[in-house]
Amino acid sequence: MNPRQVFVSVLLFGVAGLLLFMYLQAWIEEQHTESGKKLQQETINQDFTLQPLGMPRKAAWRRIAPVGLSNPEMAVSSSRHWQGRADPFGVVAASSRSRLPEQKKTSESPLSWFRGVYLPPALHTLNKTFVKGGEWQDIDSTQEKRRAFLQGFCGKHNSRKKLQTHLVHLVSRIYVEDRHKLLYCEVPKAGCSNWKRVLMVLSGLAASANNISHDDVHYGKHLRKLDSYDLKGIYTRLNMYTKFIFVRDPMERLVSAFRDKFEHPNSYYHPVFGKAIIKKYRHNADEEALKTGSGVKFKEFIQYLLDSHRPIGMDIHWEQVSKLCYPCLINYDFIGKFETLEEDANYFLQLVGAPANLKFPKFKDRHSSDERTSTEVVRQYLKELSKEERQLTYDFYYLDYLMFNYTSPLVEH
């Protein structure tokens, strides 16, 4: 066999091998696609057994993903205005897209059905089996009024709209305590540090709330958040667990946050927020202030808060509760207030069957020598603002005032 024949034979052998490889690859991809479709359909059928709050199991998913329709396009509303005020739900209404071809529908990931969820407000009866004695009657009556008030507000402004947002975003501030089946939505500057201490004790992570440091509470990552669970885990807990929230007068909470973050040394808020605020809102700022970010004035902080083009984003310590905990989309079974923190908290601990010796901590988490942020303290800070700035600050927290029935502050001199 001469060299030319050898070359031709090798070339033909190579071509045949290539054709065989391409055939096998096409066959494998076809088999993989078919099995993927089958698995996808099984997953969808299985996931449709999950039951959103307040909806019959059989009808649960019909309101989320109607047959033949793709998942609705959703976006969390960034606007602070709704009929002249903030959007009470922090979300926008959904509109379904037109019918898609079969190939498009079957190629969608099963998880795409969960991009939007509808959690209709519904009151649930609190379990009072563990409550001992009659001294809690007034607190219980107040609690029922708070829940009914919030329910009425949400029902009034719902207008029967189908409201949707990303589920993971809805529950991103909620902490889980599995032993006593609790979900706590964290509202900073409303007793959240001590509440997380209590949750650590309830979960068996600590023997006493008094021995847990500030850093362990906030940076120890001992408590798990609801958004860390899979979808089934999230829905199960939303349906079965007791959900609670503690709120505070919005202006007191705002001033408390400012005092904590800007009037004391802080290695995060001064260089990150302080520098940006001073650079934009302080005329003729000196080099030291621009370098360290220390010494932010309350008026400068409010200018940042009200600026639609903030030099740096929002922070949970002064974000509205309506955007932290979504009270009109998640049905909170217990609504406590910072103004009656001790009695509300200890009543709630009885409701959930906490150990009799566990009481809500009375100590202040940090800066214990400082005067607490009271109505009088707030009044002094508001004097630094113009009448217009005070009114706009109130407008910024308008929903929080309405939802939790707080008295609007005086904006006049």
Neighbour tally for 194: CB within 10 Å: 20
Q: Tell me: the pLDDT tens digits for 274-302?
A: 999 999 999 999 999 999 999 999 999 99
> How far are the Cα atoms of 128, 141, 350 from residue 133, in angstroms, in the given order?
11, 15, 11
Local mean pLDDT, 10-residue blocks, the chain (413 residues): 68 67 60 45 34 35 32 34 43 34 36 40 63 78 93 76 68 95 96 91 83 75 90 92 96 97 95 97 95 97 97 96 93 95 94 89 72 92 96 96 88 53
- 254, 246 in Cβ contact below 8 A? no
- 185, 332 in Cβ contact below 8 A? yes
DSSP 99: P
Helices (H), 48-111: 102-107
- 187, 252 in Cβ contact below 8 A? no
Domain boundaries, the chain: 136-251+316-368+399-404
Number of residues in the chain: 413
Q: How far apart are CA 317 and CA 294, in angstroms?
A: 18
| Confidence (pTM) | 0.71
